[in-house]
């Protein structure tokens, strides 16, 4: 068994243009003061983190690692959630998702997709230069508007969608493979990879690519009514990243999973700060330790009620309290009587 690494924190929800949230070094000092030892870094803002420069210069990557090491934290993984979303966008969402891309590719879906693919390939190189072995992203979606089959979906539509999705991602997955980095899809509503079955459809279309791995976030599974613990049993060999994120689902006679178009505060399912929701983290941490998960436990804070500073402050201690320092020996070793093959055969009467 392995002891999980952490606590770490995903910085995306905390970055701001005011100190201490305005630079990677400043925000790292802040999270270190809260008890974190790792930071997961978004890559969509080159002013905060210049991914292209990191990808092109191992020397620059080493400089960043050194500055953070002096603070007492390390980069756990990089994230291209926003860029990954743009690898596959249905035209319905073009105008909304243009906001994730530079102005030069707005109103040009083909150029936007090419830009996103290039960003992912840069992320593979940047991760390798930083000595990282896993990377976080979204799959994007061509089919999400078809998630509920009404009107009836035409025969073969889903298969065509996943074939196209895989075709777009295979060159990216190959690039990650060349750099020895696992590409971890965060299974998430709004993405074509939103549960176990959809992930398996993608794997099949992508020829079971060894780098097509998973970021495990139980909050998104709970809000779909899934068994997020048995999910680990099914996919533990592919789980290479872990977002420690809480949620609650309280359906009523008026709303359920779909939420009636309500805002986050008024939905039956909503994200919460760690410990304020319904996720059974004791069981999750136990399962991941038993399955030899070697990665980080990373807080992703999103909450409709509690403020972010309190969420981050409480989250560091919450994760520390849940990380299991695994045993190095069996609890009943004191009663061992020793054996060899001959002794065992004798006991069995053979």
User: Exposure of 51 by Cβ count < 10 A (0-12 exposed, 13-18 middle, 19+ buried)?
Assistant: buried
Alpha-carbon span 52 to 13, nearest angstrom: 22
Q: Give the tokens for residue 251.
A: 């359906």
Please state the three-class secondary structure of 244-296 as a single string.
ECEEEECCCCCCCCCHHHCCHHHCCEEEECCCCCCCCHHHHHHHHHHCCCCCE
Please give the CATH topology (third level) of the domain spanning 5-348: TIM Barrel (3.20.20)
Q: Would you tell me how many other CB atoms lie within 10 Å of the CB of residue 21? A: 17
Alpha-carbon span 115 to 140, nearest angstrom: 14
272-283 residue pLDDT tens:
999 999 999 999
Alpha-carbon span 295 to 286, nearest angstrom: 14
When the pLDDT of each residue in the chain is averaged and rounded to a whole number, the result is: 96
Would you place residue 317 in the very low, low, confident or very high pLDDT band (cuts 50, 70, 90)? very high
89-104 residue pLDDT tens:
999 999 999 999 999 9
Buried b / exposed e along 126-146 (16+ C-beta atoms within 10 A)? bbbbbebebbbbbbbbbbbeb
Residue 6 confidence (pLDDT) above 70 = yes
pLDDT of amino acid 327: 81
pLDDT of amino acid 78: 98
Q: Would you tell me how many other CB atoms lie within 10 Å of the CB of residue 12? A: 19
The domain segmentation of the chain, as residue ranges, is 5-348
pLDDT of amino acid 1: 85
52-74 residue pLDDT tens:
999 999 999 999 999 999 999 99
Q: Which residues pair with 182 in a beta bridge?
A: 134
Which residue's structure tokens are 């191992």? 58
Q: Give the tokens for residue 82.
A: 């926003």
pLDDT of amino acid 331: 62
Residue 33 confidence (pLDDT) above 90 = yes
Would you place residue 29 in the very low, low, confident or very high pLDDT band (cuts 50, 70, 90)? very high
Angle made by CA atoms 217, 184, 271, in degrees to the nearest 5: 20
Sign of torsion, CA 213 272 224 188? negative
Would you place residue 330 in the very low, low, confident or very high pLDDT band (cuts 50, 70, 90)? low
């Amino acid at each position: 068994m392995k002891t999980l690494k952490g606590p770490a924190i995903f910085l995306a929800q905390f970055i701001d243009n005011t100190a201490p949230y305005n630079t990677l070094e400043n925000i790292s000092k802040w999270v270190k003061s809260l008890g974190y030892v790792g930071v997961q870094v978004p890559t969509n803002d080159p002013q905060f983190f210049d991914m292209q420069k990191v990808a092109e210069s191992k020397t620059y990557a080493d400089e960043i690692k050194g500055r953070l090491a002096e603070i007492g934290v390390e980069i756990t993984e990089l994230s291209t959630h926003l860029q990954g979303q743009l690898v596959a966008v249905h035209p319905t969402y073009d105008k909304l998702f243009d906001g994730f891309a530079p102005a030069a590719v707005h109103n040009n879906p083909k150029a936007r997709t090419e830009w996103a693919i290039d960003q992912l390939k840069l992320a593979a190189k940047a991760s390798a230069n930083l000595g990282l072995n896993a990377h976080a992203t979204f799959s994007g979606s061509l089919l999400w508007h078809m998630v509920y089959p009404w009107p009836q979906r035409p025969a073969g539509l889903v298969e065509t969608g996943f074939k196209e999705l895989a075709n777009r991602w295979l060159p990216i997955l190959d690039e990650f493979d060349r750099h020895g980095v696992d590409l971890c899809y965060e299974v998430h509503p709004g993405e074509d990879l939103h549960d176990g079955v959809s992930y398996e459809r993608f794997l099949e279309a992508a020829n079971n690519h060894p780098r097509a791995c998973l970021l495990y976030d139980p909050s998104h599974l709970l809000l779909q009514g899934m068994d997020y613990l048995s999910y680990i049993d099914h996919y533990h060999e592919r789980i290479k990243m872990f977002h420690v994120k809480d949620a609650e689902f309280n359906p009523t006679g008026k709303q359920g999973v779909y939420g009636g178009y309500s805002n986050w505060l008024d939905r039956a399912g909503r994200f919460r700060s760690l410990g304020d929701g319904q996720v059974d983290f004791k069981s999750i941490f136990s399962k991941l330790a038993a399955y030899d998960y070697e990665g980080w436990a990373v807080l992703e804070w999103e909450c409709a009620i509690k403020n972010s500073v309190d969420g981050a402050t409480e989250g560091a201690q919450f994760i520390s309290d849940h990380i299991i320092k695994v045993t190095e020996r069996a609890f009943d070793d004191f009663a061992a009587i020793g054996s060899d093959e001959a002794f065992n055969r004798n006991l069995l009467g053979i």
